[in-house]
Amino acid sequence: MKTNALAVSRRTKRQLDSYGVSGKIYHAEIDPLIAVIDLHKSFKSLEVLKGVDLYVKKGDVVVLIGPSGSGKSTLLRCINQLETIQSGDVQFEGSSIARGPVDINQMRQRIGMVFQHFNLFPHLTVLENITLGPRKLRKISQEQANALAEQLLTRVGLLDKRDAYPNQLSGGQKQRIAIARALAMAPDVMLFDEPTSALDPEMVGEVLEVMKDLAREGMTMIIVTHEMGFAREVANKVVFMADGTIQESGVPEKLFEQPKSERLISFLGKVL
């Protein structure tokens, strides 16, 4: 009850803020959905993230680009705490996920994640993959969950696969199901960890289409990808990472047309 009330009040506050009536002007840098603050992450003695700051406000589509090993995926995985961090903080709606008394399982329900290798549950059908979370975590009935799943399957264009098992699907189909599975939890933000990197080239398009639809509908998204065309078209903020730090960030036009740092110029020279 208490958390519900809190969520409602927070939402109302945000609404008021966005109308500018609560006295405080809504400001992305002050009131972001997700805030990553001076994040440091090491694997053993290897420091992968060396002080990263990132603010994502509601409705943002942030694309992380950069050479491999630059820490993009690690940053994404730190946001929903699949990796524990050494110092700094990750905040969701102003409350710390990384440290502090929040229930991480509750938080993760609101942060959808899509993996490079799909990670569908092979022992469950497509429908069961999608309904498992809503039924067990959001406690909605089997019928409602099925209806929700069918609606999501229609949205990703795979309703005819509802009773198939994951290993009967192509890579592109698996990834679209994985997106539907994450969406079924009605998350506030979606994280995409190189969603098209494991796909055959002819299947990349169908997955990107689904993601474009999501972006158009106003979903907050943080995407690690090597698809520069997609980044340019969909992102409202592109972040270039190298050597565990953010080197440069901004709107795609600026970042792609007028790159400032040497690293970004040479990176774009290689990938474009």
- CA–CA separation, 18 and 57 (whole Å): 12
From the CB of 137, what's the least distance to another protein, in Å?
5
- Contact pick of 18, 106, 142, 261 for another protein (by CB under 8 A): 106
Sole window of 10-18, 22-30, 118-126, 244-252 interacting with another protein (rule: CB under 8 A) = 118-126
Size of the site for another protein (CB under 8 A): 24
Residue 139: exposure state from Cβ atoms within 10 A (0-12, 13-18, ≥19): exposed
When the beta carbons of 122 and 229 are compared against another protein, the nearer one is 122
Strands, DSSP E only, in 136-256?
Answer: 189-193, 220-224, 237-242, 245-250
- Regarding 108 and contact with another protein (CB under 8 A), the answer is yes
From the CB of 23, what's the least distance to another protein, in Å?
35
- Regarding 229 and contact with another protein (CB under 8 A), the answer is no
Strands, DSSP E only, in 27-181?
Answer: 34-43, 46-56, 61-65, 87-92, 95-96, 111-114
From the CB of 68, what's the least distance to another protein, in Å?
19
Interface map 160-199 toward another protein (x if CB under 8 A): -------x-------------xx--x--------------
Tokens describing residue 159? 């309703």
Phi, psi of 118, rounded to the nearest 5 degrees: 65, -50
- Contact pick of 42, 87, 96, 109 for another protein (by CB under 8 A): 109
Tokens describing residue 107? 């938080």
Under rule CB under 8 A, which residues in 40-99 are in contact with another protein?
80, 82
From the CB of 246, what's the least distance to another protein, in Å?
24
Strands, DSSP E only, in the chain?
Answer: 34-43, 46-56, 61-65, 87-92, 95-96, 111-114, 189-193, 220-224, 237-242, 245-250
Tokens describing residue 7? 């969520």
Sole window of 58-66, 87-95, 120-128, 253-261 interacting with another protein (rule: CB under 8 A) = 120-128
Which one, of 63, 33, 37, lies nearest residue 49 by Cα?
Answer: 37
Which one, of 105, 86, 62, lies nearest residue 191 by Cα?
Answer: 62
- Contact pick of 100, 101, 122, 229 for another protein (by CB under 8 A): 122
- Regarding 136 and contact with another protein (CB under 8 A), the answer is yes
- Contact pick of 61, 120, 189, 242 for another protein (by CB under 8 A): 120
Which one, of 266, 232, 267, 226, lies nearest residue 252 by Cα?
Answer: 232
Binding site for another protein (CB under 8 A): 80, 82, 105-106, 108-109, 111-113, 115, 117, 119-123, 132-133, 136-137, 167, 181-182, 185
